[in-house]
Structure 1
Amino acid sequence: MNGKLASYSVDGTHYYGAVRDDGMIALSPDFPQWPDLRAVIEAGGLDRLLEAAEGRPITHEAGTFDYEIPLANPEKIICVGVNFPDRNAEYKDGKDLPQNMSLFIRFPRSFTGHDRPLIRPKASDKLDYEGEIAIVIGKGGRHIPQEQAYDHIAAISLCNEGTLRDWVRHAKFNVTQGKNFDRSGALGPWLVPFRDHAQLEDVRITTRVNGETRQDDRTSRMIFPIPRQIAYISAFTTLVPGDIIVTGTPTGAGARFDPPRYLKPGDVIEIEGEGIGLLRNTVEDET
Protein backbone atom coordinates (compact mmCIF):
# COMPACT_ATOMS: atom_id res chain seq x y z
CA MET A 1 0.00 0.00 0.00
CA ASN A 2 1.48 3.31 -1.11
CA GLY A 3 1.00 6.65 0.54
CA LYS A 4 2.56 9.53 2.44
CA LEU A 5 2.02 10.44 6.08
CA ALA A 6 2.80 13.77 7.67
CA SER A 7 2.68 15.71 10.92
CA TYR A 8 1.10 19.14 10.68
CA SER A 9 -0.58 21.86 12.69
CA VAL A 10 -3.64 24.07 12.30
CA ASP A 11 -3.89 27.15 14.54
CA GLY A 12 -1.65 25.51 17.13
CA THR A 13 -3.43 22.13 17.13
CA HIS A 14 -1.23 19.23 16.08
CA TYR A 15 -2.36 16.41 13.80
CA TYR A 16 -0.96 13.60 11.76
CA GLY A 17 -2.56 12.32 8.63
CA ALA A 18 -2.39 11.20 5.03
CA VAL A 19 -1.11 13.56 2.35
CA ARG A 20 -3.16 14.23 -0.74
CA ASP A 21 -2.46 16.62 -3.60
CA ASP A 22 -5.19 18.99 -2.41
CA GLY A 23 -4.63 18.74 1.33
CA MET A 24 -4.56 16.45 4.36
CA ILE A 25 -6.76 13.74 5.77
CA ALA A 26 -6.51 14.04 9.55
CA LEU A 27 -6.11 10.59 11.08
CA SER A 28 -4.89 11.35 14.60
CA PRO A 29 -8.43 11.94 15.96
CA ASP A 30 -9.29 8.35 14.98
CA PHE A 31 -6.27 6.85 16.75
CA PRO A 32 -6.10 8.41 20.24
CA GLN A 33 -3.92 5.51 21.39
CA TRP A 34 -1.17 6.91 19.15
CA PRO A 35 -0.48 10.54 20.05
CA ASP A 36 2.08 11.07 17.27
CA LEU A 37 3.77 9.30 14.37
CA ARG A 38 6.53 7.98 16.61
CA ALA A 39 3.87 6.08 18.57
CA VAL A 40 2.42 4.85 15.28
CA ILE A 41 5.82 3.53 14.22
CA GLU A 42 6.43 1.91 17.62
CA ALA A 43 3.14 0.04 17.18
CA GLY A 44 3.82 -0.89 13.55
CA GLY A 45 0.73 1.09 12.58
CA LEU A 46 1.69 2.90 9.37
CA ASP A 47 -0.34 0.56 7.19
CA ARG A 48 -3.38 0.94 9.46
CA LEU A 49 -3.23 4.68 8.91
CA LEU A 50 -3.05 4.29 5.14
CA GLU A 51 -5.96 1.85 5.18
CA ALA A 52 -8.00 4.28 7.28
CA ALA A 53 -7.38 7.06 4.77
CA GLU A 54 -8.67 5.14 1.77
CA GLY A 55 -11.69 6.74 0.17
CA ARG A 56 -11.94 9.56 2.69
CA PRO A 57 -12.19 13.25 1.80
CA ILE A 58 -9.56 15.72 2.92
CA THR A 59 -10.13 17.46 6.24
CA HIS A 60 -7.67 20.33 5.74
CA GLU A 61 -7.22 22.01 2.40
CA ALA A 62 -3.78 22.89 1.07
CA GLY A 63 -2.68 26.26 2.42
CA THR A 64 -4.65 25.95 5.68
CA PHE A 65 -2.03 24.06 7.67
CA ASP A 66 1.68 24.12 8.50
CA TYR A 67 3.97 21.14 8.08
CA GLU A 68 5.86 20.04 11.19
CA ILE A 69 8.87 17.75 11.20
CA PRO A 70 7.44 14.23 10.78
CA LEU A 71 8.73 12.94 14.13
CA ALA A 72 8.88 15.62 16.81
CA ASN A 73 10.47 13.53 19.56
CA PRO A 74 12.80 10.81 18.26
CA GLU A 75 15.14 9.35 20.85
CA LYS A 76 18.08 9.84 18.48
CA ILE A 77 18.91 11.70 15.28
CA ILE A 78 22.25 10.39 14.04
CA CYS A 79 23.89 11.97 11.00
CA VAL A 80 26.52 10.43 8.72
CA GLY A 81 29.22 12.78 7.43
CA VAL A 82 31.46 12.62 4.32
CA ASN A 83 29.60 9.74 2.67
CA PHE A 84 30.11 10.38 -1.07
CA PRO A 85 33.44 10.07 -2.93
CA ASP A 86 33.30 13.59 -4.36
CA ARG A 87 32.43 14.96 -0.92
CA ASN A 88 35.47 13.21 0.52
CA ALA A 89 37.64 14.73 -2.22
CA GLU A 90 36.52 18.22 -1.18
CA TYR A 91 38.75 18.00 1.87
CA LYS A 92 41.90 17.86 -0.33
CA ASP A 93 43.81 16.11 2.46
CA GLY A 94 45.32 13.39 0.24
CA LYS A 95 43.56 10.67 2.20
CA ASP A 96 41.82 7.68 0.69
CA LEU A 97 38.19 6.90 1.41
CA PRO A 98 37.69 6.46 5.17
CA GLN A 99 37.42 2.97 6.62
CA ASN A 100 34.75 3.99 9.12
CA MET A 101 32.02 6.59 8.97
CA SER A 102 31.97 9.95 10.72
CA LEU A 103 28.91 10.47 12.90
CA PHE A 104 27.34 13.28 14.87
CA ILE A 105 24.07 13.99 16.67
CA ARG A 106 21.37 16.55 15.96
CA PHE A 107 18.51 17.62 18.21
CA PRO A 108 14.90 17.81 16.98
CA ARG A 109 14.77 21.52 17.82
CA SER A 110 17.44 22.15 15.17
CA PHE A 111 14.92 21.29 12.43
CA THR A 112 11.80 22.86 11.01
CA GLY A 113 9.16 21.55 8.63
CA HIS A 114 8.51 21.75 4.90
CA ASP A 115 7.65 25.18 3.45
CA ARG A 116 8.86 26.92 6.61
CA PRO A 117 11.92 29.17 6.89
CA LEU A 118 15.35 28.06 7.96
CA ILE A 119 16.62 30.52 10.53
CA ARG A 120 19.97 32.21 9.96
CA PRO A 121 21.11 32.94 13.53
CA LYS A 122 22.43 36.17 14.95
CA ALA A 123 25.71 34.39 15.75
CA SER A 124 26.72 33.67 12.13
CA ASP A 125 25.94 34.50 8.50
CA LYS A 126 27.51 31.26 7.23
CA LEU A 127 24.38 29.13 7.01
CA ASP A 128 24.85 26.33 4.48
CA TYR A 129 22.63 23.60 2.99
CA GLU A 130 23.13 19.83 2.78
CA GLY A 131 20.53 17.75 0.96
CA GLU A 132 20.15 14.22 2.30
CA ILE A 133 17.88 11.21 2.61
CA ALA A 134 16.70 10.33 6.10
CA ILE A 135 15.56 6.91 7.22
CA VAL A 136 13.35 6.11 10.19
CA ILE A 137 13.91 2.97 12.23
CA GLY A 138 10.83 0.78 12.65
CA LYS A 139 12.23 -2.29 14.37
CA GLY A 140 14.84 -1.64 17.00
CA GLY A 141 17.91 -3.71 17.68
CA ARG A 142 21.54 -3.98 18.59
CA HIS A 143 24.31 -5.58 16.48
CA ILE A 144 22.05 -5.65 13.42
CA PRO A 145 23.70 -7.55 10.52
CA GLN A 146 23.93 -5.66 7.23
CA GLU A 147 21.94 -8.35 5.43
CA GLN A 148 19.02 -7.77 7.83
CA ALA A 149 19.28 -3.97 8.04
CA TYR A 150 16.49 -3.16 5.58
CA ASP A 151 14.07 -5.12 7.78
CA HIS A 152 14.58 -2.45 10.47
CA ILE A 153 13.48 0.55 8.35
CA ALA A 154 9.92 1.84 8.70
CA ALA A 155 9.96 4.92 6.47
CA ILE A 156 11.98 7.40 4.41
CA SER A 157 12.04 11.18 4.43
CA LEU A 158 14.27 14.06 3.30
CA CYS A 159 16.58 16.37 5.19
CA ASN A 160 18.22 19.73 4.65
CA GLU A 161 21.03 19.28 7.14
CA GLY A 162 21.66 23.01 7.53
CA THR A 163 25.07 23.87 8.99
CA LEU A 164 26.73 27.00 10.37
CA ARG A 165 30.16 26.48 8.86
CA ASP A 166 32.22 28.67 11.17
CA TRP A 167 30.63 27.08 14.24
CA VAL A 168 31.79 23.58 13.22
CA ARG A 169 35.37 24.82 13.60
CA HIS A 170 35.17 26.27 17.10
CA ALA A 171 37.29 23.51 18.63
CA LYS A 172 39.87 20.94 17.64
CA PHE A 173 37.42 18.08 17.20
CA ASN A 174 33.69 18.69 17.24
CA VAL A 175 30.85 19.83 15.01
CA THR A 176 27.97 19.79 17.49
CA GLN A 177 27.43 23.55 17.76
CA GLY A 178 27.37 24.23 14.04
CA LYS A 179 24.87 21.43 13.46
CA ASN A 180 22.33 22.35 16.13
CA PHE A 181 21.25 25.96 15.88
CA ASP A 182 17.49 26.17 16.35
CA ARG A 183 15.59 25.65 13.08
CA SER A 184 18.74 25.77 10.98
CA GLY A 185 17.75 22.62 9.08
CA ALA A 186 14.60 20.89 7.88
CA LEU A 187 13.05 17.42 7.86
CA GLY A 188 10.11 16.26 5.77
CA PRO A 189 7.83 16.94 4.13
CA TRP A 190 6.41 13.53 5.06
CA LEU A 191 7.18 9.89 5.67
CA VAL A 192 7.09 7.40 2.81
CA PRO A 193 6.62 3.87 4.19
CA PHE A 194 9.53 1.63 3.27
CA ARG A 195 8.58 -1.39 1.17
CA ASP A 196 11.48 -2.44 -0.98
CA HIS A 197 15.27 -2.14 -1.32
CA ALA A 198 14.79 -0.22 -4.58
CA GLN A 199 13.47 2.75 -2.61
CA LEU A 200 16.99 3.37 -1.28
CA GLU A 201 19.63 1.50 -3.25
CA ASP A 202 19.98 3.79 -6.29
CA VAL A 203 18.02 6.95 -5.58
CA ARG A 204 18.85 10.33 -7.07
CA ILE A 205 19.19 13.15 -4.51
CA THR A 206 19.41 16.75 -5.71
CA THR A 207 19.60 20.17 -4.09
CA ARG A 208 18.57 23.39 -5.80
CA VAL A 209 19.06 26.93 -4.50
CA ASN A 210 16.87 29.52 -6.23
CA GLY A 211 16.38 27.02 -9.06
CA GLU A 212 20.09 26.35 -9.59
CA THR A 213 21.19 22.73 -9.10
CA ARG A 214 23.99 22.63 -6.53
CA GLN A 215 24.05 18.95 -5.49
CA ASP A 216 23.25 15.90 -7.62
CA ASP A 217 24.23 12.31 -6.84
CA ARG A 218 22.84 8.83 -6.24
CA THR A 219 22.67 6.65 -3.15
CA SER A 220 24.39 3.84 -5.05
CA ARG A 221 27.59 5.91 -4.84
CA MET A 222 27.58 6.19 -1.06
CA ILE A 223 30.86 5.22 0.60
CA PHE A 224 28.86 3.65 3.41
CA PRO A 225 25.56 2.25 2.07
CA ILE A 226 22.54 2.49 4.31
CA PRO A 227 22.63 -1.17 5.50
CA ARG A 228 26.22 -0.63 6.62
CA GLN A 229 25.18 2.54 8.44
CA ILE A 230 22.55 0.63 10.40
CA ALA A 231 24.96 -2.19 11.21
CA TYR A 232 27.73 0.18 12.31
CA ILE A 233 25.53 2.43 14.43
CA SER A 234 23.78 -0.49 16.11
CA ALA A 235 27.18 -1.91 17.07
CA PHE A 236 27.52 0.78 19.75
CA THR A 237 23.97 1.93 20.51
CA THR A 238 20.58 0.27 20.58
CA LEU A 239 18.40 1.58 17.79
CA VAL A 240 14.75 2.06 18.74
CA PRO A 241 11.60 2.72 16.70
CA GLY A 242 11.43 6.33 15.62
CA ASP A 243 15.19 6.89 15.56
CA ILE A 244 16.31 8.86 12.50
CA ILE A 245 19.51 8.32 10.53
CA VAL A 246 20.47 11.14 8.15
CA THR A 247 22.53 9.31 5.57
CA GLY A 248 25.01 11.81 4.07
CA THR A 249 25.15 14.66 1.57
CA PRO A 250 26.74 14.85 -1.90
CA THR A 251 29.34 17.36 -2.99
CA GLY A 252 28.25 20.90 -3.81
CA ALA A 253 27.46 22.64 -0.52
CA GLY A 254 27.86 26.40 -0.54
CA ALA A 255 31.07 26.38 1.51
CA ARG A 256 32.94 24.63 -1.32
CA PHE A 257 32.46 27.40 -3.87
CA ASP A 258 35.11 30.10 -4.31
CA PRO A 259 33.98 32.41 -2.88
CA PRO A 260 31.55 30.48 -0.65
CA ARG A 261 27.86 30.80 -1.45
CA TYR A 262 26.11 30.79 1.90
CA LEU A 263 22.35 31.06 2.29
CA LYS A 264 20.75 34.45 2.80
CA PRO A 265 17.25 35.67 3.57
CA GLY A 266 14.89 35.14 0.66
CA ASP A 267 16.71 32.12 -0.77
CA VAL A 268 14.63 29.07 -1.69
CA ILE A 269 16.22 25.66 -1.13
CA GLU A 270 14.70 22.50 -2.60
CA ILE A 271 15.86 19.00 -1.71
CA GLU A 272 14.43 16.36 -4.03
CA GLY A 273 14.65 12.61 -3.54
CA GLU A 274 13.59 10.28 -6.33
CA GLY A 275 10.41 8.50 -5.28
CA ILE A 276 10.32 10.36 -1.95
CA GLY A 277 9.29 13.92 -2.65
CA LEU A 278 10.52 17.50 -2.43
CA LEU A 279 11.49 19.40 0.73
CA ARG A 280 11.31 23.18 0.25
CA ASN A 281 12.41 25.94 2.62
CA THR A 282 13.17 29.63 2.54
CA VAL A 283 15.58 31.54 4.79
CA GLU A 284 14.91 34.23 7.39
CA ASP A 285 17.12 35.99 9.88
CA GLU A 286 16.72 35.33 13.58
CA THR A 287 14.80 38.10 15.29
Structure 2
Amino acid sequence: MPRPSLDDLIGEAERRLSDAGIEAARGDAEQLAAHALGLPPHARPAPWTKLTEAEQARYTELVSRRAQRIPLGHLLCAATLGGVTVAVGPGVFVPRQHSELVLASGLDVLAGRENPLVVDLCTGSAAIALAVAHARPDATVHAVELDPNALEFARRNSAHQTSLGDTPITVHDADVTAPGLLAELAGTVDLVLANPPFVPESERLLPEYGVHHPKLAIFSGADGLHVIRHVVRLAAALLRPDGGLVVEHGHCHGQSVPDLLSTDAAFGAVSTHDYLDGRPLYTTANRTEAGAPERKEHAA
Protein backbone atom coordinates (compact mmCIF):
# COMPACT_ATOMS: atom_id res chain seq x y z
CA MET A 1 0.00 0.00 0.00
CA PRO A 2 1.53 3.37 -1.02
CA ARG A 3 2.43 5.82 1.72
CA PRO A 4 0.16 8.89 1.94
CA SER A 5 1.50 12.20 0.71
CA LEU A 6 2.42 14.98 3.10
CA ASP A 7 -0.63 16.93 1.94
CA ASP A 8 -2.88 14.01 2.91
CA LEU A 9 -1.23 13.72 6.33
CA ILE A 10 -1.55 17.45 7.00
CA GLY A 11 -5.22 17.35 6.05
CA GLU A 12 -5.82 14.50 8.45
CA ALA A 13 -3.87 16.27 11.18
CA GLU A 14 -5.84 19.48 10.61
CA ARG A 15 -9.12 17.64 11.14
CA ARG A 16 -7.83 16.00 14.30
CA LEU A 17 -6.56 19.27 15.77
CA SER A 18 -9.74 21.10 14.84
CA ASP A 19 -11.79 18.41 16.60
CA ALA A 20 -9.59 18.98 19.67
CA GLY A 21 -10.66 22.64 19.74
CA ILE A 22 -7.53 24.22 18.26
CA GLU A 23 -8.40 27.30 16.20
CA ALA A 24 -5.23 27.50 14.11
CA ALA A 25 -5.40 23.80 13.24
CA ARG A 26 -4.03 24.08 9.69
CA GLY A 27 -1.08 26.25 10.64
CA ASP A 28 -0.20 24.02 13.58
CA ALA A 29 -0.43 20.91 11.40
CA GLU A 30 1.92 22.45 8.84
CA GLN A 31 4.48 23.58 11.41
CA LEU A 32 4.47 20.18 13.09
CA ALA A 33 5.01 18.55 9.69
CA ALA A 34 8.03 20.75 9.04
CA HIS A 35 9.38 19.84 12.47
CA ALA A 36 8.88 16.12 11.83
CA LEU A 37 10.95 16.52 8.65
CA GLY A 38 13.69 18.42 10.48
CA LEU A 39 12.88 21.72 8.75
CA PRO A 40 12.42 25.21 10.23
CA PRO A 41 8.89 25.77 11.61
CA HIS A 42 7.64 27.93 8.73
CA ALA A 43 9.21 25.90 5.93
CA ARG A 44 6.75 24.54 3.39
CA PRO A 45 7.86 21.23 1.85
CA ALA A 46 6.18 20.13 -1.38
CA PRO A 47 2.69 18.70 -0.69
CA TRP A 48 3.50 15.52 -2.62
CA THR A 49 6.49 14.78 -0.35
CA LYS A 50 6.48 11.18 0.90
CA LEU A 51 7.49 10.74 4.52
CA THR A 52 9.55 7.80 5.65
CA GLU A 53 7.94 5.48 8.16
CA ALA A 54 10.01 7.08 10.92
CA GLU A 55 9.01 10.60 9.86
CA GLN A 56 5.37 9.63 9.64
CA ALA A 57 5.45 8.06 13.09
CA ARG A 58 7.12 11.18 14.49
CA TYR A 59 4.51 13.39 12.86
CA THR A 60 1.65 11.29 14.19
CA GLU A 61 3.10 11.51 17.71
CA LEU A 62 3.52 15.29 17.48
CA VAL A 63 -0.06 15.74 16.27
CA SER A 64 -1.33 13.49 19.06
CA ARG A 65 0.46 15.59 21.68
CA ARG A 66 -0.81 18.85 20.17
CA ALA A 67 -4.34 17.43 20.27
CA GLN A 68 -3.77 17.04 24.02
CA ARG A 69 -3.35 20.85 24.01
CA ILE A 70 0.37 20.82 24.72
CA PRO A 71 1.63 24.24 23.51
CA LEU A 72 2.89 24.27 19.94
CA GLY A 73 6.13 25.98 20.97
CA HIS A 74 6.89 23.23 23.48
CA LEU A 75 6.55 20.67 20.69
CA LEU A 76 8.63 22.66 18.22
CA CYS A 77 11.18 23.40 20.98
CA ALA A 78 11.57 26.91 19.57
CA ALA A 79 9.87 30.26 19.07
CA THR A 80 10.84 33.33 17.07
CA LEU A 81 10.52 36.97 18.13
CA GLY A 82 12.07 40.00 16.47
CA GLY A 83 14.18 37.86 14.17
CA VAL A 84 15.63 35.87 17.07
CA THR A 85 14.81 32.17 17.51
CA VAL A 86 14.95 30.99 21.11
CA ALA A 87 14.74 27.53 22.62
CA VAL A 88 11.61 26.88 24.66
CA GLY A 89 10.11 23.84 26.30
CA PRO A 90 8.15 22.66 29.34
CA GLY A 91 8.79 25.00 32.24
CA VAL A 92 9.08 28.22 30.24
CA PHE A 93 6.53 30.58 28.71
CA VAL A 94 6.35 30.46 24.90
CA PRO A 95 6.62 33.97 23.41
CA ARG A 96 3.43 35.00 21.63
CA GLN A 97 3.22 36.63 18.23
CA HIS A 98 1.50 39.59 19.89
CA SER A 99 4.74 40.37 21.71
CA GLU A 100 6.16 41.60 18.38
CA LEU A 101 4.05 44.74 18.97
CA VAL A 102 5.45 45.10 22.49
CA LEU A 103 8.98 44.77 21.14
CA ALA A 104 8.31 47.32 18.38
CA SER A 105 6.95 49.80 20.90
CA GLY A 106 10.04 49.36 23.06
CA LEU A 107 12.35 49.91 20.08
CA ASP A 108 10.41 53.09 19.28
CA VAL A 109 11.31 54.38 22.74
CA LEU A 110 14.99 53.78 21.96
CA ALA A 111 14.90 55.55 18.61
CA GLY A 112 17.47 58.36 18.60
CA ARG A 113 19.08 57.24 21.87
CA GLU A 114 22.71 56.18 21.66
CA ASN A 115 24.03 53.29 23.75
CA PRO A 116 20.71 52.85 25.59
CA LEU A 117 20.29 50.95 28.85
CA VAL A 118 17.42 48.45 28.85
CA VAL A 119 15.90 46.21 31.52
CA ASP A 120 13.56 43.32 30.67
CA LEU A 121 11.58 42.12 33.70
CA CYS A 122 10.05 38.62 33.95
CA THR A 123 12.15 37.70 30.94
CA GLY A 124 11.26 33.99 30.72
CA SER A 125 13.17 32.59 27.75
CA ALA A 126 14.82 36.03 27.31
CA ALA A 127 13.19 36.35 23.89
CA ILE A 128 12.37 40.07 24.20
CA ALA A 129 15.70 40.96 25.80
CA LEU A 130 17.60 39.13 23.07
CA ALA A 131 15.46 40.69 20.35
CA VAL A 132 16.32 44.15 21.69
CA ALA A 133 20.03 43.31 21.73
CA HIS A 134 19.70 41.94 18.19
CA ALA A 135 18.01 45.09 16.90
CA ARG A 136 20.19 47.48 18.89
CA PRO A 137 23.76 46.13 19.17
CA ASP A 138 24.75 49.33 21.01
CA ALA A 139 22.30 48.62 23.85
CA THR A 140 23.22 47.29 27.28
CA VAL A 141 20.44 44.85 28.18
CA HIS A 142 19.65 43.33 31.57
CA ALA A 143 17.11 40.49 31.87
CA VAL A 144 15.52 39.43 35.18
CA GLU A 145 13.91 36.06 35.89
CA LEU A 146 12.95 34.18 39.06
CA ASP A 147 11.94 30.70 37.90
CA PRO A 148 14.89 28.25 37.74
CA ASN A 149 13.57 26.43 34.66
CA ALA A 150 13.06 29.66 32.74
CA LEU A 151 16.49 30.88 33.85
CA GLU A 152 18.09 27.82 32.29
CA PHE A 153 16.45 28.60 28.96
CA ALA A 154 17.32 32.31 29.24
CA ARG A 155 20.99 31.59 29.83
CA ARG A 156 21.15 28.99 27.08
CA ASN A 157 19.46 31.34 24.61
CA SER A 158 21.73 34.21 25.64
CA ALA A 159 24.85 32.12 25.09
CA HIS A 160 23.56 30.99 21.68
CA GLN A 161 22.85 34.52 20.46
CA THR A 162 26.26 35.68 21.68
CA SER A 163 27.84 32.85 19.69
CA LEU A 164 26.04 34.20 16.61
CA GLY A 165 27.61 37.61 17.13
CA ASP A 166 24.88 39.51 18.99
CA THR A 167 25.76 41.79 21.89
CA PRO A 168 25.71 39.75 25.12
CA ILE A 169 22.97 40.45 27.63
CA THR A 170 23.18 40.08 31.42
CA VAL A 171 20.72 37.59 32.93
CA HIS A 172 19.86 38.11 36.61
CA ASP A 173 18.50 35.38 38.90
CA ALA A 174 16.20 37.68 40.86
CA ASP A 175 12.63 38.40 41.98
CA VAL A 176 11.05 41.61 40.62
CA THR A 177 9.21 42.00 43.93
CA ALA A 178 12.49 42.16 45.90
CA PRO A 179 13.24 45.59 47.43
CA GLY A 180 16.25 47.36 45.96
CA LEU A 181 16.54 45.17 42.88
CA LEU A 182 19.11 46.57 40.42
CA ALA A 183 19.65 49.55 42.71
CA GLU A 184 22.93 50.27 40.93
CA LEU A 185 20.93 51.19 37.80
CA ALA A 186 18.51 53.54 39.56
CA GLY A 187 17.61 56.59 37.52
CA THR A 188 19.72 55.60 34.49
CA VAL A 189 17.57 53.18 32.44
CA ASP A 190 16.15 54.26 29.07
CA LEU A 191 13.60 51.47 28.70
CA VAL A 192 11.91 48.95 30.98
CA LEU A 193 10.04 46.12 29.27
CA ALA A 194 7.91 43.55 31.07
CA ASN A 195 5.69 40.64 30.17
CA PRO A 196 4.74 39.68 33.73
CA PRO A 197 2.09 37.21 34.89
CA PHE A 198 -1.26 39.03 34.80
CA VAL A 199 -4.05 36.45 35.12
CA PRO A 200 -6.18 36.32 38.30
CA GLU A 201 -5.70 33.03 40.14
CA SER A 202 -9.40 32.12 39.85
CA GLU A 203 -9.60 32.55 36.06
CA ARG A 204 -10.00 29.51 33.82
CA LEU A 205 -7.79 29.44 30.73
CA LEU A 206 -7.23 27.29 27.68
CA PRO A 207 -5.26 24.15 28.63
CA GLU A 208 -2.19 25.46 26.80
CA TYR A 209 -1.92 28.21 29.41
CA GLY A 210 -3.86 26.96 32.42
CA VAL A 211 -2.33 23.48 32.48
CA HIS A 212 0.84 23.28 30.39
CA HIS A 213 2.52 26.63 31.05
CA PRO A 214 4.33 27.36 34.34
CA LYS A 215 1.93 28.96 36.82
CA LEU A 216 4.55 31.53 37.87
CA ALA A 217 4.44 32.94 34.33
CA ILE A 218 0.64 33.11 34.17
CA PHE A 219 -1.12 33.79 37.47
CA SER A 220 -0.64 36.83 39.71
CA GLY A 221 -2.86 37.16 42.76
CA ALA A 222 -6.59 37.66 43.09
CA ASP A 223 -6.79 40.54 40.59
CA GLY A 224 -3.86 39.66 38.32
CA LEU A 225 -1.95 42.77 39.33
CA HIS A 226 0.27 41.51 42.17
CA VAL A 227 3.47 41.33 40.11
CA ILE A 228 2.56 44.28 37.89
CA ARG A 229 2.35 46.58 40.92
CA HIS A 230 5.94 45.65 41.75
CA VAL A 231 6.97 46.12 38.10
CA VAL A 232 5.55 49.65 38.14
CA ARG A 233 7.35 50.53 41.38
CA LEU A 234 10.62 49.08 40.13
CA ALA A 235 10.33 50.84 36.77
CA ALA A 236 9.76 54.17 38.55
CA ALA A 237 13.02 53.65 40.43
CA LEU A 238 15.06 52.46 37.45
CA LEU A 239 13.99 54.82 34.67
CA ARG A 240 15.68 58.10 33.88
CA PRO A 241 13.47 61.12 33.19
CA ASP A 242 11.69 60.54 29.86
CA GLY A 243 12.60 56.85 29.98
CA GLY A 244 9.87 54.53 28.75
CA LEU A 245 7.93 51.63 30.27
CA VAL A 246 6.23 49.01 28.09
CA VAL A 247 4.26 46.37 30.02
CA GLU A 248 2.24 43.58 28.41
CA HIS A 249 -0.99 42.60 30.12
CA GLY A 250 -4.55 41.47 29.54
CA HIS A 251 -7.94 42.55 30.82
CA CYS A 252 -7.73 43.08 34.57
CA HIS A 253 -10.55 42.84 37.06
CA GLY A 254 -11.02 45.97 39.14
CA GLN A 255 -8.16 48.43 38.78
CA SER A 256 -6.54 48.34 35.35
CA VAL A 257 -2.87 48.71 34.41
CA PRO A 258 -3.50 52.12 32.77
CA ASP A 259 -5.27 53.26 35.96
CA LEU A 260 -2.37 52.00 38.05
CA LEU A 261 0.11 54.02 35.97
CA SER A 262 -2.07 57.11 35.62
CA THR A 263 -2.41 57.47 39.40
CA ASP A 264 1.36 57.14 39.90
CA ALA A 265 3.04 60.56 39.88
CA ALA A 266 6.21 58.99 38.46
CA PHE A 267 4.55 58.34 35.10
CA GLY A 268 2.89 60.35 32.38
CA ALA A 269 1.76 59.93 28.76
CA VAL A 270 0.01 56.66 29.67
CA SER A 271 -1.34 54.94 26.57
CA THR A 272 -3.07 51.58 26.19
CA HIS A 273 -2.71 49.58 22.97
CA ASP A 274 -5.29 46.97 22.04
CA TYR A 275 -5.73 43.79 20.08
CA LEU A 276 -7.81 44.16 16.92
CA ASP A 277 -10.85 42.98 18.89
CA GLY A 278 -10.49 45.80 21.41
CA ARG A 279 -8.99 43.84 24.30
CA PRO A 280 -6.02 45.55 25.98
CA LEU A 281 -2.63 44.12 24.97
CA TYR A 282 0.00 46.42 26.49
CA THR A 283 0.43 49.83 28.07
CA THR A 284 3.20 52.38 27.60
CA ALA A 285 4.19 55.27 29.85
CA ASN A 286 7.04 57.76 30.26
CA ARG A 287 8.97 58.54 33.43
CA THR A 288 8.19 62.15 34.24
CA GLU A 289 10.83 64.73 35.09
CA ALA A 290 9.28 65.94 38.33
CA GLY A 291 6.88 63.08 39.06
CA ALA A 292 3.77 65.07 38.13
CA PRO A 293 1.02 63.05 36.38
CA GLU A 294 0.15 63.94 32.80
CA ARG A 295 -2.94 63.50 30.68
CA LYS A 296 -3.89 59.88 30.02
CA GLU A 297 -4.30 58.87 26.38
CA HIS A 298 -5.72 55.76 24.75
CA ALA A 299 -4.59 54.31 21.42
CA ALA A 300 -6.22 51.40 19.68
Normalising to structure 2: TM-score of the pair? 0.23
Higher relative contact order (CA 8 A, sep 6+): 1
Larger radius of gyration: 2
Which structure shows the higher helix fraction? 2
Which structure shows the higher strand fraction? 1
Normalising to structure 1: TM-score of the pair? 0.24
